[in-house]
A and B are shown apart, each in its own frame.
Chain A
Amino acid sequence: DSHIQYERVGADVTMKCGSMDWDAAVTWTANGTDIDESHLNGSYLILKNVDLTQSGQYSCYEGSSWHLKYQTYLRVGTPPKEPVLMCRSNNYPKGFYCSWHLPTPTYIPNSFNISVIHGTREMVCEKDVFPKNRCHIRYLQLFSTVKYKVTLTVTNALGKNSTTVTFDEFAIVKPDPPESVVAKPVPNNPRRLEVSWQNPSSWPDPESFPLKFFLRYRPLILEQWQHVELSDGTSHTITDAYAGKEYIIQVATKDNDIGTWSDWSVAVHATPWTEEPKHLTTEAQVAETTSTSTSSFMPPPTTKICDKGAVVGSGAVAVCWTAGLVLAAYGVLFI
């Protein structure tokens, strides 16, 4: 007959060959491979200080007949350490969820049991199908000062462990980050960027439970963030952007009255509008760019390379392009 056997890492394991006598002649195999006799004490298999690699199927065969006398599946693992548990409400006032994980794997199956107590009342936390280590619970009462006590117990064949968290209704409220953050330059405004976003879709009733927002932005080349707090609305115009610099922008949100700030949204990048540099594609335009240039993006005036007089057919145009590009590259270096 076959069964599963769980043992701790580092334990010494003795396997008996079913009902065979100690002095019976037997052969043991591990995952189909014969085990050396040095591991046997009579017909018993001795595994000392087992490690994870020794998990597998162990079979015992009678000496000459090769009848299978015993089979077991050895699973080497550890008892559970104290689990990590957290609860959060990202859909206030509907309810909250709790999720957990083990700090280190046990390598054997674990079962989890969660209990939620509010005052004297025991509530049921419904396990989610996905992700597995999560359950959700609906608020039966709102605005309560009575704390919630959530206890998670992890059990496996080698032991059990548990942890408890206690919190009040308001403390665990943390919305998901804002969605669909978009940042766009504003035409003809070299120092502006228009940012817009949406409430997180998981927040059920932003009208009755309004959110406030926190925007942060900085040019990629600097480390220091600028911050703006916004009590309402889902858009904001940055008016102090450095001209021509690419910006990184993020938004976070929080219930107006309670709880904590969400994580930062996905970052978006945008560069404020800049005036178009004059083109260098035709000789006529090149000839015009001889004296003044008002914008730092204007490449320095071209030289005699693209002189009108020197132009002969398409080859000369290519020369003009190349010269223009080189000069433009020089211009960029000096920004």
Chain B
Amino acid sequence: MAAADSPSATLRRRDLCSRGIRLAGKMRSDVIDLLDTYVERQGLDASASVAAVEGVPAAAVERWDEQTGTQRLLENLAAYRAFRALLAQMLEEQREQLGEADAALGRALAAVLLQVSAFTYHLEELLRLESRGPPSEEGAGPPPPLHLGLFERKLRGLGVLRELAQWAVRSARDLRQLAKTSLGSSSAPSLAESP
């Protein structure tokens, strides 16, 4: 494996970052379209307020500008692995609930799930370049089946997609920060503090 600061590693990292940024942009756009479809097909109110959903990684972060490159990658990776499992669960539930009646929603969910998987791969590769390697997924089995009623499950799905849309924006920013800093994840770039 190339040393973390070798020219080939730098190029690979830059390539992964720029592809990742594009993928995050596409993912966000697709998730927003999916949100519209989901809200409509599930008969929800688009402005419904969803409280923080258990098991859904929140994109909100304090002192974002002070995070190191490694922290960014690890937090992103944990989040997208969780989304991968959550979306798979939603897809399963959606098939059970509506059968083949709503193939469009199922297809849209599957497409986003694919992008989430692809993005997860990008993050794992970037971590490998950091000479850290991605953490294993042991113990991270599928999320436990929730004993929620149908309506609660729909609201939960809304929460998942909304949070994923936020993450897609955050991830693009994280990757840009990553591309900006030199290799060597201990450096923590920070924006000037003046208001």
Contact = CB atoms under 8 A, between A and B. Distances in A.
Interface string A203-215: 0110111100000
Interface stretch (A13-21, A133-141, A217-225, A287-295): A133-141
A145 B170 contact: no
Say whether chain B's binding surface is mostly helix, strand, loop, or mixed. helix
Contact of A93 (B60, B64, B192): B64
B60 A95 contact: no
B185 interface: no
Given A93-B65, A94-B191, A204-B192, A145 B60 contact: yes
Interface stretch (B4-12, B130-138, B160-168): B160-168
Contact of A143 (B166, B180, B192, B195): B166
B106 interface: no
Say whether chain A's binding surface is mostly helix, strand, loop, or mixed. loop
Given A93-B65, A136-B195, A207 B180 contact: yes
Contact of A146 (B28, B60, B62, B176): B60
Contacts of A142: 60-61, 64, 170
A58 interface: no
Contacts of B192: 204
Interface string B181-195: 000000000011001
A177 to B, nearest CB: 21
- Measured as residues with beta carbon below 8 angstroms from the partner, the interface class of chain A is 20 to 34
A195 B60 CA distance: 39
A231 to B, nearest CB: 11
A141 B191 CA distance: 14
Interface in B24-54: 25, 28
Contacts of B163: 145
Given A142-B170, A143-B59, A143-B64, A257 B162 contact: no
Contact of B176 (A143, A144, A204, A210): A210
Contacts of B172: 257
16 contacts: A93-B64, A136-B195, A141-B61, A142-B64, A142-B170, A143-B61, A143-B169, A145-B59, A145-B163, A205-B191, A207-B180, A209-B173, A209-B176, A257-B28, A257-B172, A258-B169
Interface of A: 93-95, 136, 138, 140-146, 170, 204-205, 207-210, 257-258
